[in-house]
Structure 1
């Protein structure tokens, strides 16, 4: 079968022939129709994870059709259109993953291939309202955004009955866009930040009330002025992927009792935070990554019920994965980059 193999750190991804995997008890073989990129794939290329295991077939997100079922697997799965949960072996504690937790696509062979062997427990029927391209965009970033918003931030209606106010930073990336779409579908009032005026406008078209350019030194003051907030803050929930020195301004715009959840650190270590601003405002600051199997099921159900459609930026043939990875690395996309496999 054809697959995208990462041979070694800092090497280009290779489009090559590999052996089709043989399934065992509890497994299924999925013919992958589409797969989607995540920043994780670039980080695997760069060797930024502990205990790197290369070579490996890349890819965490995938959608396809089950073509074989192993022993102890319900044969009704055969011929079903499915998406794959890439969060493997979370463990029994819903608050924190166990020692066997890993993400599909390294160390386990991933979805950038014509066929994927996977334990049947990680299959979910493809939402009927989504194309294969849209469905492939859902798993990793959808799960990340869902846990951040619904489990860690506990997005809800204010006691006053008003929608909660949500700020999502760095709009344009997959998880940030998923968070915007989930929050809007849940009835929140959503604002965003971006480095691009074009991306701000596209976020408004998806339902964001407004936003600001985070490259502006006074973006926090501008945002509070736009929202009608004041020095006490405005946002009940803030979802962030950057951390870094700018995190201190998130504390400024958070409402008293607000919840800040971050799932990345693309701008480095958090600095210049005044502890008094955190404890006097009774803020809750949470880290998060990926999510549990029940959270994945809840996320898929929500997308089905609300008919939410993930944003796809561009679709590439599998053979052009390296070009897609370079676009991902440059951060030029608005939405998910998808591979058409078969």
Structure 2
């Protein structure tokens, strides 16, 4: 079989679609033939290298995807060959007691455990023809849902779900989604809108702004226009937004903070334009604002998300699908911000 691996950090040229040994499922595990795996900014960061985060080489990339069960290990009864599944991006490491991990999963706080980890970052991911994983990290693919479309769902929608939940968004509140045409942004627009929020989105091109409107944003602004924070204030009659969904970082941070209302909550899951930002403290404490961090979302939300996708309530935005052997092109497109939604990789045939 083949897998997409890196043997060193660097540009897209370090990606290798190469021969590896096909895994065998052990007790409680399932062998899955990968049908599709999406590209996320996390893949780019792992490929480039993140300060203070050593990556053992070689590393198989890929945080989420879909597949078909091929073989099950001893003790597995919930899955059988031929069943199409969604591959969960997150899992709980070995430092957590199994009973505690199971309780956290049911309770919806598994992503908050100290040793919560993500495929393709902390361990090998899904950019391969076959993968093995514990049976609890599979989710049924709803009937009629295309595996390539569904591969664009897990990490982006769980991350957006977690951010909306962390900010405690309420119906009728105003929610500003920065970078609304991205995977996380496009998901956040739909989740907040479905909750009854008034959604304002930003995007950097006319086509991306049209997409945000199609997804349900009530107002869409150009974050390439230096006056966009003033436009947010105008739209909200000078109040600013109750919640800001921020994942771009330095390029939009100042504007995001200026757009935040009194008692407002800004929630961030990272920064695609860099790791460091500044905060003007008087503005923060005088207005009683909150800046919140959010990592992923609970695995328990994934069945609900997939059901809503299958029923047409949520729509994963697929920019394009490419063969895994062309992953370098996919990485370049993402780095050049030439992507609306997600790029999905499909394993090449043998």
CA shift for structure 1 position 101: 2.4
Q: Distance in 2 between matches of 1:23 and 1:293?
A: 22
Q: Distance in 2 between matches of 1:5 and 1:198?
A: 33
State the match for 1:83 in structure 2.
86
CA shift for structure 1 position 136: 0.4
CA shift for structure 1 position 279: 2.4
State the match for 1:64 in structure 2.
67
Moved more, 258-267 or 296-305: 296-305
Are residues 1:221 and 2:235 paired?
Answer: no
Q: Distance in 1 between matches of 2:124 and 2:200?
A: 37
State the match for 1:51 in structure 2.
54
Of the three residues 30, 37, 40, the one matched with 2:39 is 37
Regions of 4+ moved over 4 Å = 90-93
SS of the residue corresponding to residue 71 of structure 2 reads: strand
Q: How does 1:104-123 map to 2 (within 5 A)?
A: 104-123=119-138
Q: Distance in 1 between matches of 2:143 and 2:316?
A: 13
Of the three residues 270, 280, 285, the one matched with 2:286 is 280
| TM-score, L = length of structure 2 | 0.88
SS of the residue corresponding to residue 31 of structure 2 reads: strand
CA shift for structure 1 position 76: 3.7
| TM-score, L = length of structure 1 | 0.90
Q: How does 1:82-231 map to 2 (within 5 A)?
A: 82-89=85-92, 92=100, 94=109, 97-150=112-165, 152-157=166-171, 163-225=172-234, 227-230=235-238
CA shift for structure 1 position 229: 2.0
CA shift for structure 1 position 301: 4.6
What runs of 5+ residues in structure 1 fail to find an aligned partner?
A: 158-162
- Call closer, same or farther: CA 1:248–1:321 in 2, change over 3 Å: closer
Two-structure CA RMSD over aligned residues (Å): 2.1
CA shift for structure 1 position 22: 1.0
State the match for 2:318 in structure 1.
312
Conservation of the 8 A alpha-carbon contact between 2:42 and 2:121:
no
Are residues 1:241 and 2:236 paired?
Answer: no
What runs of 5+ residues in structure 2 fail to find an aligned partner?
A: none
SS of the residue corresponding to residue 289 of structure 1 reads: coil
Moved more, 172-181 or 291-300: 291-300
Q: Distance in 2 between matches of 1:284 and 1:295?
A: 25
SS of the residue corresponding to residue 222 of structure 1 reads: helix
Partner deviation per Cα, 1:134-176 (whole Å, 9 max, x = no partner):
11001111111110012x011222xxxxx22111001222111
State the match for 1:26 in structure 2.
28
Q: Distance in 2 between matches of 1:194 and 1:186?
A: 22
Q: Distance in 2 between matches of 1:19 and 1:139?
A: 27
CA shift for structure 1 position 228: 4.0
State the match for 1:160 in structure 2.
none
Are residues 1:270 and 2:277 paired?
Answer: yes
Conservation of the 8 A alpha-carbon contact between 1:211 and 1:223:
no
CA shift for structure 1 position 264: 1.2
CA shift for structure 1 position 212: 1.8
SS of the residue corresponding to residue 308 of structure 1 reads: coil
Q: How many residues align?
A: 332
CA shift for structure 1 position 186: 2.4
Q: Distance in 1 between matches of 2:313 and 2:252?
A: 34
- Call closer, same or farther: CA 1:111–1:189 in 2, change over 3 Å: same
Q: Distance in 2 between matches of 1:206 and 1:128?
A: 23
- Call closer, same or farther: CA 1:280–1:305 in 2, change over 3 Å: farther
